Structure 1
Amino acid sequence: MHELSDAAVALAARCEPRVNELARRMARDVFEELRGYAELPADVKDMEIAATARYGMRLFLRGGVRRPRPDALDHFQERAAQRAGEGVPLNLLLRTYTLGTKELFRALRETARPDERDALAELAEALFGAADRVVGAVAESYLDEQAAAAACGSPQALWHWGREEERRSRARTLLAGRPVADGVTSDWPALVVWLRFDNSASGNGSSPVAVRRLVRRVQAVLDRGFGTCVPALLDADGGHAVIPGTTELPCRIPELLREPAGAGVRLAAAGATAAGDIPRAARLAREVVRIAAACGREPGLHRLDDVLLEYHLSRPSAGSDRIAALLDPLAGRPELVETLRTHLEQHQDRRATARRLSLHPNSVDHRLARVQELTGLDLADPRNTALVLAALLLRETDAGVME
């Protein structure tokens, strides 16, 4: 590669202050014309794609094209592998690079003075050569990642590569109570974890790319946290993971999960003694999370001991329907239900309830008075308080809470 002239280097340096502005415009406006770009999660567009654009432009404008570093393409290749795993179409990915190259050249042309025509021509030739190398490396890395995910081989090799469908198949088998005799997932006892994601965790709603991105990042946290490839069956709402050979949940797992899954992530874990015990442990972990949410507990790690009374009260019995019906008068009043749930979780402390709900304490009093008026249940009576708690729990189902 020939050396750039001092004039070309000087022109590139004058364009560098525009990098942040250009990256924002690319991520928010220029790339919007690409089919499928609008469906990408907001953080992918505004952070990761914009960050890659900034990195690429600075690498070029600061003279990286003059003396390319040996690792100059590593960043682009890592991002390409990540996008492949998230299911971003290859044509969409490559077009962000070609359009980005076009926008950078336009900025250079706008920056150049009339007497810098030769310098601009030099930079154009260097830029298009650099773009050719980057696009080639991106395509190669993307296709390599796809090939690795689809590779066939021994169970041990598939386990090592973390092939997603194989991993999900293992999880399905274990959650059905059947052993997986492969020398990897046959160790007992085992830990079963249930995860429930915050509705906003996947970014742009139920976009397939957003969901795959969420699942991939959560899976990476589980693998790293447990030090093995964890069989898991995850989707946009959450799911189960089974970790053979342990009954301990590493204390750092809940905090690590907050980054990919958001501050609203909930989880619980239960131990299983053998393959046939996994379905019971899976139901228990899921039930603990459901009950904790129904009680208004803060998101995070939930343990059975934390909701022991509530778990008992929520068990169906001959009188369950009649207890649940006590709150029928609150149907269509979600603000009253939420206030009641929060008030019980805050040990009937009106000021604490008001802080949690961002209300004035008098507003809490008015809502609770309305609850008593509609239901006839006085929360000052311990028996009525227990009935209200049981009714809230019994009305909570996997389909959602009462509104």
Structure 2
Amino acid sequence: MVSDDARALALRCEARANSLARKLSREVFDGIPGYAELPAEVKDVEIAATVRHGVRLFLRGAVSPPAGPDGYRLFQERAARRAEEGVPLHLLLRTYALGVHGLWQVIREEAGPHESGAVAELVDLLLRAQTEVVGLVTERYLEEREALASERAADGTRLAHRLLDGGLGPEDGRQAGIDLDGPFLVLALGTGPAAPGGGPVGHRRRLRGLRTALGRTAGVGASVLLAGEPEGGDLAGRAVLPGCGEVPPGLAGLLSEGYGGPLYVAAVPARDAAGVPEAARTTEEIVRIARAGGLPVGRVHRLEDVLLEFHLSRTGPGSDSIAGLLDPVGHRPELLATLRSHLELSLDRRATATALGVHPNTVDKRLARLTALTGLDLSSPRGTALALAAQLLRETSRPVGGGDSSGGG
């Protein structure tokens, strides 16, 4: 509670609520960068009304019991609306700071020579009220922005899936602001040998990181479409970059940084929307080949980079026989996992051991056992080529993004 002098001063100040609101909304706030661009009805109606509400809420709270949570509801509603309209948070908070300063000036001007104590009481209340209001406004603004971002991400994901599946029609493209005549760059993003953990929360955070990284990519517009994949698969996501015909510089590094871990990045151009589904299938296969063939993570792989592996993974009269070379160890997931990691890591036994969490001697024993059971000698070029072909053919025969029996280890 405040003194009788402070309540009397607050009552005198309340009479100036309307004039203060007009002055702030028409003059003072104009000095804030970006405020002048707001529609006149927003400045003269909504913002002025919010100022009047805030001034009266504070001054009447000094006379009677302070306002409860309902009294601040208007501030929260207006904060949500400004977030929806895209008004920057710093602009919104500056209006509140200037409003507090304007009210302080009114208090100072209305106070008499012997009311310094009353002024101190009201200023103390004003600063405490500012802390409460700024906290509530910021929280509600950020909640609305997060909700809007989630909606846009969901819309973008649905749009990406339809484009990747070939189900996006001309009218859909016009509504989404996408030129279906192309060009497009289609990406597949594969998880590296040591994918980051974190469960569902970490997975959502990594997808947000990918979207942010794609948005920062040079030469790519705001219509980047990301189709996030389920947690736990070999694919972290697929993306379509409308209007982009070439791989932007530094793409793999930006995506790996946004994801929080190394990624296999495959890129295939498509001349128009009709070519996107086929390009998508090719990128997914390139990622699979890169993983099975031990190609490096953290760089962009194109079809011309994996022509030999792509050819080895093609099915033909001898495909079943080549893939069948690994049948004798089909029931030994630890041997298949070791082979896969060993090929993936360029036949480096120590790196393979680190990736699998075993001793290098264990890797040697497993590879020796695999050679004894299959006849594939990884110490010879021919044996390595056959093992690579067998592994690639086994990889291309299973669904993208799913698990396989060789995933343990």
Instruction: Give the shorter-chain TM-score range.
Output: 0.5 to 0.7
TM-score, scaled relative to structure 1: 0.57
Query: Of residues 285, 288, 291 in structure 1, which corresponds to 2:289?
Result: 291
Q: Which amino acid aligns with 2:319?
A: S
Matched, 1:193 2:150: no
Q: Which amino acid aligns with 1:176?
A: D
Q: How many Å apart are 1:401 and its aligned residue?
A: 4.1
Q: Which amino acid aligns with 1:309?
A: L
Q: Which amino acid aligns with 1:400?
A: G
CA deviation profile, 1:119-154 (whole Å, cap 9, x unmatched): xxxxx989965652343123331354267559xxxx
CA deviation profile, 1:29-67 (whole Å, cap 9, x unmatched): xxxxxxxxxxxxxxxxxxxxxxxxxxxxxxxxxxxxxxx
Q: Which amino acid aligns with 1:391?
A: A
Query: Of residues 399, 403, 407 in structure 2, which corresponds to 1:400?
Result: 403
Quick check: 1:191–1:242 contact (8 Å CA) kept in 2?
yes
Q: Which amino acid aligns with 2:154?
A: E
3-state SS in 2 of match to 1:310: helix
After superposition, where does 1:32-181 map in structure 2 within 5 Å? 129=129, 132-145=132-145, 148=148, 163-177=152-166, 178-180=168-170, 181=173
Query: Of residues 201, 213, 221 in structure 2, which corresponds to 1:228?
Result: 221
Query: Of residues 274, 277, 296 in structure 2, which corresponds to 1:276?
Result: 274
Identity of aligned residues (%): 44
Q: How many Å apart are 1:388 and its aligned residue?
A: 1.5
Q: Distance in 2 between matches of 1:344 and 1:211?
A: 27
Matched, 1:367 2:370: no
Change (3 A) 1:137 1:351: closer
Quick check: 1:214–1:261 contact (8 Å CA) kept in 2?
yes
CA deviation profile, 1:258-289 (whole Å, cap 9, x unmatched): 22312232211101112111111000111100
User: How many residues of Structure 1 are paired with residues of Structure 2 in the alignment?
Assistant: 275
Quick check: 1:198–1:262 contact (8 Å CA) kept in 2?
no
Which stretch shows the higher mean deviation, 389-398 or 271-280?
389-398
Quick check: 2:188–2:265 contact (8 Å CA) kept in 1?
yes
Query: Of residues 175, 181, 184 in structure 1, which corresponds to 2:178?
Result: 184
Q: Distance in 1 between matches of 2:345 and 2:148?
A: 50
Quick check: 1:294–1:401 contact (8 Å CA) kept in 2?
no
Q: Distance in 2 between matches of 1:149 and 1:355?
A: 39
3-state SS in 1 of match to 2:199: coil
Matched, 1:255 2:253: yes
Q: How many Å apart are 1:231 and its aligned residue?
A: 1.8
After superposition, where does 1:204-219 map in structure 2 within 5 Å? 204-207=198-201, 210-219=202-211
Q: Distance in 1 between matches of 2:158 and 2:291?
A: 29
Q: Which amino acid aligns with 1:173?
A: R
Q: Which amino acid aligns with 2:273?
A: A
3-state SS in 2 of match to 1:246: coil
> What are structure 1's unaligned runs of at least 5 residues?
3-76, 86-123, 151-161
CA deviation profile, 1:367-402 (whole Å, cap 9, x unmatched): 332111111233455444332211111222323344
Q: Distance in 2 between matches of 1:342 and 1:221?
A: 28
Q: How many Å apart are 1:309 and its aligned residue?
A: 1.5
Q: Distance in 2 between matches of 1:201 and 1:388?
A: 24
CA deviation profile, 1:183-216 (whole Å, cap 9, x unmatched): 5333422111111345986753124xx4433222
Q: Which amino acid aligns with 2:142?
A: Y
Residue matched to 1:241: 239
Change (3 A) 1:305 1:141: same
Quick check: 2:188–2:266 contact (8 Å CA) kept in 1?
yes
Which of the pair has more CA radius of gyration?
2
Residue matched to 1:300: 298
Q: Distance in 2 between matches of 1:355 and 1:390?
A: 24
Q: Distance in 2 between matches of 1:307 and 1:204?
A: 32
Quick check: 1:215–1:236 contact (8 Å CA) kept in 2?
no
3-state SS in 1 of match to 2:156: helix
Quick check: 1:192–1:269 contact (8 Å CA) kept in 2?
yes
Quick check: 1:202–1:236 contact (8 Å CA) kept in 2?
no
TM-score, scaled relative to structure 2: 0.56
After superposition, where does 1:310-329 map in structure 2 within 5 Å? 310-329=309-328
Residue matched to 2:14: none
Q: How many Å apart are 1:221 and its aligned residue?
A: 1.0
Residue matched to 1:377: 376
Q: Which amino acid aligns with 2:309?
A: E
Q: Distance in 2 between matches of 1:164 and 1:224?
A: 16
CA deviation profile, 1:238-277 (whole Å, cap 9, x unmatched): 2221112222121222111222312232211101112111
3-state SS in 2 of match to 1:171: helix
Change (3 A) 1:298 1:125: farther
CA RMSD of aligned residues (A): 3.9
CA deviation profile, 1:289-314 (whole Å, cap 9, x unmatched): 01111223332232323322221111
Quick check: 1:179–1:275 contact (8 Å CA) kept in 2?
no
Residue matched to 1:92: none
> What are structure 2's unaligned runs of at least 5 residues?
3-75, 85-123
Quick check: 1:214–1:236 contact (8 Å CA) kept in 2?
no
